[in-house]
Amino acid sequence: MNPKFPRSPRPSRPAYGSRPPVRGGSSSASRPPYRPYSNRPAPSRGRGRSFGGQYIDASRFINKAVITEKVEHFVPDHAFTDFHIDEKLKKNIVAKGYLNPTPIQDKSIPHILRGSDLVGIANTGTGKTAAFLIPLINKVLLSRKHAKPDPTDARVLVVVPTRELAQQIESELKDFTPVLNMFAVCCVGGASMGYQLAGLQRPHSFIIGTPGRLKDLIDRKSINLSKYSTVVLDEADRMLDMGFIADIKYMIAKMPPERQTLFFSATMSPEIKALIKDFLKEPVMISVKTSETSSQVDQDVVRVPPGKNKLDVLRDLLIQPGFDKVLIFGRTKHGVERLAKELKTMGFKAESIHGNKTQGQRQKALSLFKESHANILVATDVAARGLDIAGVSYVINFEVPSTYDDYVHRIGRTGRAGKKGKALTFIG
């Protein structure tokens, strides 16, 4: 018996969200074990439903990961030591534990090293960050050999949709640049403007930021984009979904006409194609995306029976073996915060992350989850893109996402780096 969840009965309570739950739980001994929806008889109502956003057929949330004895492994054309890059950078790459590039890295790095514009399409979790950081770090190092001190012709602007992704890229950049004396400024909302302004006054080679904060700093004349000859738009599709297209056009228009432009995305929308046509010159198109969702993620649905409390169903899942590190997605900031508090009341070690939290609070929640001080993180779609958190055993869509693209990115937080993951979506 789990001491945190005694098996003594308790009164039934209203539906989720009507009032705070009481401690303890209803009898788990009398409940049948969880059975994936794909193994149950088909429901009487229709397969597809409209969930307040894009129409998504429920069958698209079911995709069993096939495990076979014989697995076809990708064989890269290069090793990292084969690339024509600085020897100190090579040593840092090896020290980070990188030996052979992923498909997107293997195909993209040679073209970026040659200075080509590039569009990279790949599933989430396939190493897109290193695919552009490694060659661009080398570009800065080469520039230093020909222009001293602090050349501006190789400065890099990296634009991303979320604060967390910006900070993750900055962290990875630091991993690649020991002893290289290379500095980056991370410019995101919710963090100290003064600290960022001070950073921009120091010699730096990279700016990594979100569109809103970058535009504020440009308008303050704290960033002069005429001195940045390279721009990377990472998760470009998400930035367009979030309404940043005007800010992106504004920033790119202020950069030199002779620049290197890199787009990385998991999807290719008509809007992305229009931006490519407007701002890239004869780009190399690299696509290593094999399917909409990763074959490493076992996907299924959980149907909530009529009259059943949705939170009780979630609790029954979370106390089962295997739910060691769980990322739960909700639709709204208030709903996510409420759910995290209810899980804490039940005794779970849960944290939350959403747009109403300060940057410090979001970073603390992420840190607790990454370091396994909390084993549940409840989040809005702010955490659906770009975050690389090791060992997420389950992604649970407590609320169905607005679009299928959002679903793809949510479940991409598990099954990363060749490991198996599981994703469950609540239906009912």
Confidence at residue 7, expressed as pLDDT on a 0 to 100 scale: 44
d(CA 334, CA 291): 33
Q: Is 322 exposed, middle or buried (0-12, 13-18, 19+ CB in 10 A)?
A: exposed
Q: What angle do CA 28, 32, 37 make, to 5 degrees?
A: 125
Give the three-class secondary structure for 63: strand
d(CA 331, CA 333): 7
Break the chain down into helix, strand, coil percent, rounded to 5: 35, 15, 45
Residue 94, C-beta contacts closer than 8 angstroms, at least 6 positions apart: 80, 81
d(CA 325, CA 370): 9
The answer to whether 382 and 162 have CB atoms below 8 angstroms apart is yes
d(CA 106, CA 189): 33
The answer to whether 232 and 252 have CB atoms below 8 angstroms apart is no
Give me the residue spans of the domains in the chain.
37-66+295-427, 80-287
Is 37-66+295-427 in CATH node 3.40.50.300? Answer: yes
Q: Which tokens go with 261?
A: 């432009």
In the CATH scheme, what is the homologous superfamily, with its name and number, of domain 80-287?
A: P-loop containing nucleotide triphosphate hydrolases (3.40.50.300)
d(CA 372, CA 356): 23
Per-residue pLDDT of the chain (428 residues; tens, 9 = 90+): 444 444 444 444 444 444 344 333 333 344 444 444 334 333 333 333 444 556 677 666 777 543 333 334 567 788 898 899 999 999 999 999 898 898 999 999 999 999 999 999 887 667 899 999 999 999 999 988 876 544 556 799 999 998 888 999 999 999 999 999 999 999 998 888 999 999 999 999 999 999 999 999 999 999 999 999 999 999 888 888 778 989 999 999 999 999 999 999 877 778 888 888 889 999 999 988 655 556 678 899 999 988 889 999 999 999 999 999 999 999 899 999 999 999 999 999 999 998 888 878 888 998 899 888 999 999 998 776 656 788 899 999 999 888 887 888 788 888 776 678 899 999 87
Pairs from 109-115 (Cβ < 8 Å, separation ≥ 24): 109/78, 109/83, 109/134, 109/135, 110/78, 110/83, 111/284, 111/286, 112/136, 112/260, 112/262, 113/83, 113/84, 113/85, 113/138, 113/139, 115/139, 115/260
Instruction: Identify the bridge partners of residue 184 per DSSP, sorted by sequence position.
Output: 206
Nearest Cα to Cα of residue 205 among 186, 226, 221, 182: 182
Q: Where are the alpha helices (DSSP H) in 60-102?
A: 87-95
d(CA 148, CA 339): 54
The yes-or-no answer to whether 37-66+295-427 and 80-287 have a common fold is yes
d(CA 124, CA 61): 17
pTM: 0.65
Residue 286, C-beta contacts closer than 8 angstroms, at least 6 positions apart: 104, 107, 108, 111, 118, 119, 120, 121, 122
Q: Which tokens go with 335?
A: 């709903």
d(CA 109, CA 100): 12
Length of the chain: 428
Confidence at residue 14, expressed as pLDDT on a 0 to 100 scale: 43
The terminus-to-terminus CA distance of the chain in angstroms comes to: 30
d(CA 46, CA 216): 48
